[in-house]
Amino acid sequence: MEISHADLELIIRLTAAAILGGFIGFERELHGKVAGFRTHSLVALGSALIMLVSIHIFEAYKGVASVDPSRIAAQVISGIGFLGAGTIIRSGTSIKGLTTAAGLWTASGIGLACGLGYFRVAFFATAITIFVLVVFSFVGRRLGARDV
């Protein structure tokens, strides 16, 4: 079975999403967070897949029915909100998991960008996310922040 150029492009988009989401998850894993490498990687991969399906549906029904490919992608953002909410734990006056929830939500956006083939934006978003997680955590510890 020969892989076509179009199939290779899809594989690249999915792989990029999994790797970029994994980078964010790796940072979370280093800090002992439950939602780490695999979780973030799968969220980004799943988001890329959903974006590709959205594009395919749009192309398949072009001229036959009115289809908006952004509607499915918008549901990813809502769905990840529920997944992220499951990572947030309140204990007395302390709240844990907000950064992990935000990381999952960001990984879904990176996955959507990869699914669309918007690699430059996905790469920069990943780099900025890791910068925020690493540098802001360091600065926060120095300043005595509670959400580190």
pTM score: 0.71
Q: Are 89 and 95 in contact (CB under 8 A)?
A: yes
For 25, phi and psi rounded to 5 degrees? -60, -35
Task: Characterize 121-133 residue by residue with b for buried, 16 or more Cβ atoms within 10 angstroms of its Cβ, and e for exposed.
Answer: ebbebbeebbebb
> Rounded CA gap, 116 and 96, in Å?
33
- Of 90 and 38, the structure prediction assigns the larger pLDDT to 38
- Which DSSP string corresponds to 60-79? HTTTTS---HHHHHHHHHHH
> Tens digits of per-residue pLDDT, 89-145?
877 777 788 888 888 889 999 998 998 888 999 999 999 999 888 887 777 777 765
- pLDDT at residue 116 in the model: 85
Banded model confidence at residue 147, pLDDT cuts 50, 70, 90: low
More confident residue, 17 or 50: 17
* The predicted structure's pLDDT at residue 146: 56
Look at residues 25, 10, 24 and name the one whose alpha carbon lies nearest to residue 123.
24
The proportion of the chain whose per-residue pLDDT surpasses 90, expressed as a percent, equals 22
- Model pLDDT, residue 145: 59
Residues 61/128, Cβ–Cβ less than 8 Å: no
Angle ∠(130,135,140) on CA atoms, nearest 5: 125
The predicted pLDDT at position 87 comes to 81
CB burial class (10 A; 0-12, 13-18, 19+) of residue 73?
Answer: buried
Question: For 68-88, how does the pLDDT look when each residue is reduced to its tens digit (9 = 90+)?
Answer: 877 877 888 888 888 888 888
